[in-house]
Amino acid sequence: MTEPGSNEDKLARLLRAAYTETPALSPTARVAILERTLVEVRKRGGRRAAAGARGFLYAAAALGLVVLLALAAVQLWYPREAELATLHVQAGPVELQRTRTRILWFRESSTVTLAAGETARLAAGDRMRTGAGAAADIAFAEGSTATLAAETELAIARLDRSPGGQIELRLEAGQAAASVHALPSRAPHLTILTPAVSAVAEGTRFAVAVIAADHTFLAADAGTVRVRMQEQEARLGAGEELDAILGQPLVVRSQTPPQPALDPLPEAVYEPQIAVAGQVVSTPQAAPAVLVEIYVNDALQTTLALDAAGRFSWDYTAPGFGSYRFHAVAQSARGKAGAPSAAVSTTYSKRAPAFQLARTGQGELPVSELGQYATRESVVTLVGRGTPGETVVIYLDGVEVGRAAVDASGSFTFQFTAPAEGAYPLRAVALDDAGYASAEVLLATIVYDITPPILRLTRFPGDEVSAARVTLGGQTEPGAGLTMNGAPVAVDAAGSFTFEVALAPGPNAIRLIATDAAGNTVCSTSTILRK
């Protein structure tokens, strides 16, 4: 509001006075302007409709663009399979099935067969199968490696891109060995899953074999491996192994098999074939032995399989005469060797002459209890067996006393003449044409004895007794036989004897006869009167 009379009020009145007229639109202009305005309104409505349609199209296009951009962003963001491992085929064929994300959840699978020397990049989800005789290595970017044996199926279940990421391998059949690259600050990161167990490597080298769906074998060569089977858990240390069998306890054992034991051998053998045998007794604390190595004179000669009882046998053919020392070493299925067995030895010799009998003109001599052949004859014929064509050399006290040829039937005879009474241990060797001699053996001890044995009574009740039974005793030659009135009397090894005799009333004759091994006899007759 302006103050009346003020300059502003004066100005206001001047201006209002100057612009007092109220202009009016001409009717024509009024109608024309209205028409044009309404036309504009209609046009705008049409534009709005068109704009609405266009807007819909624009919105749809914009939405499509947004979706495309979102897809692109998601595609960029979406974690693609990181190819963080390389498969090296050592021996083919190896079938590799690869699955890769193409767009979002759209995945593409392909299968290739790789030959020896070929390589392929691997990512999570890849599966590989080695054929018969094939072998392959997997090198992981973080430094760990895995080796696949023939006829093995392995899938890479997880292969994280991030540092310290996890590697999970699913071994479905066959055998795999892994060498895990362990960093001091790094948590265990490599896990092998089998149908029966999960094995987490804690910086180690270890091997896994799927024996069956419910049976997995694991062995740690370095570091430790944590094995989980259902509710059970075990920790394998270096040099340990276990058989994880569903439903059975996890028992950790040494990878070293038990020590074998060899059967004793004869001191000498006369044929080149030497039968070597032994046994490996299984224990729960040691790996089962599947093979034994046989060493001859510390040189490996053969490897033998074990039967169900752990026994093994082998016929060794000696290449020549001499001593042979054998020992055995057990091996586990993984080729781990146990402690060597105690050694057993034998000597392969030329077959020594074998004594058969000794005879005189009176016939074959019996062997005494002392293993001697006693005779009252000075000439004794010895008969023995040997290798046809060889010569038997007879020694007495180290001095050759004669030779005998072995005939085609393998027999030889040697006539020995005793120079005087006495015992003659005759030893012999077999000698072949090449000059090889057998071991010297005792052929027989001939005793030339023409002296009757002693016989004396040391216990005699007297010439007259009243008792119905009396005891008598005495001494004779050791080994001699004794009879009393024709009945044998026992003589001990020292030649002593004691016997009881029943006396009839009146005089009783006691007739003792001693006979030595050579047949020499002595007779003693006594009479005891029973009053």
Partner 1 sequence: MVTSATAERQLVARVAQGDEEAAAELYRLFSGRLYAFIYRQVGGDPSLGEEVLQDTFLAAVRSAGRFREESTVFTWLCGIAWRQAADRNRRARRRRQVLEGHTAEEFMPLSGAPQPEEEVQREETRAWVRQIVESLPDRYRSVLLLKYVEELSTQEIAQITGRSIRAVESLLLRARATFREHAELRGDV
User: Can you give the binding site for partner 1, defined by CB under 8 A?
Assistant: 7-8, 10-12, 14-26, 29-30, 32-34, 36-38, 40-42, 44-45, 48
> Most distant CA pair in the chain: distance in Å?
208
Is 15 or 112 the residue whose CB approaches partner 1 more closely? 15
* Least separation in angstroms between CB 36 and partner 1: 6
Amino acid at 116: A
Is 47 or 459 the residue whose CB approaches partner 1 more closely? 47
3 state SS of 18: helix
> What secondary structure letter does DSSP report for 82?
P
Q: In angstroms, what CA-CA distances link 73 with 160, 281, 479?
A: 21, 67, 116
Q: What is the DSSP string of 165-176?
A: --EEEEEEEEEE
Is 29 or 187 the residue whose CB approaches partner 1 more closely? 29
* Least separation in angstroms between CB 164 and partner 1: 59
Yes or no: say if 480 and 513 are a contact pair by the CB < 8 Å rule. no
Is 16 or 531 the residue whose CB approaches partner 1 more closely? 16
Is 27 or 361 the residue whose CB approaches partner 1 more closely? 27
Is 44 or 469 the residue whose CB approaches partner 1 more closely? 44
3 state SS of 64: helix
* Least separation in angstroms between CB 28 and partner 1: 9
* Least separation in angstroms between CB 61 and partner 1: 23
Is 33 or 442 the residue whose CB approaches partner 1 more closely? 33
Burial, 483: exposed, middle or buried (Cβ in 10 Å; 0-12, 13-18, 19+)? middle
> What secondary structure letter does DSSP report for 260?
P
**What's the rounded Cα separation, in Å, for the pair 257 and 282?**
8
* Least separation in angstroms between CB 63 and partner 1: 23
Is 37 or 297 the residue whose CB approaches partner 1 more closely? 37
Distant-in-sequence contacts of 495-498, Cβ < 8 A, 24+ apart: 495/454, 497/473, 498/459, 498/471, 498/472, 498/473
Burial, 82: exposed, middle or buried (Cβ in 10 Å; 0-12, 13-18, 19+)? middle
**Structural tokens at position 104:** 């979002």
* Least separation in angstroms between CB 99 and partner 1: 55
Q: How long is the chain?
A: 531
* Least separation in angstroms between CB 53 and partner 1: 15
* Least separation in angstroms between CB 57 and partner 1: 20
* Least separation in angstroms between CB 15 and partner 1: 4
HEC string of 482-499 equals: EEECCEEECCCCCCEEEE
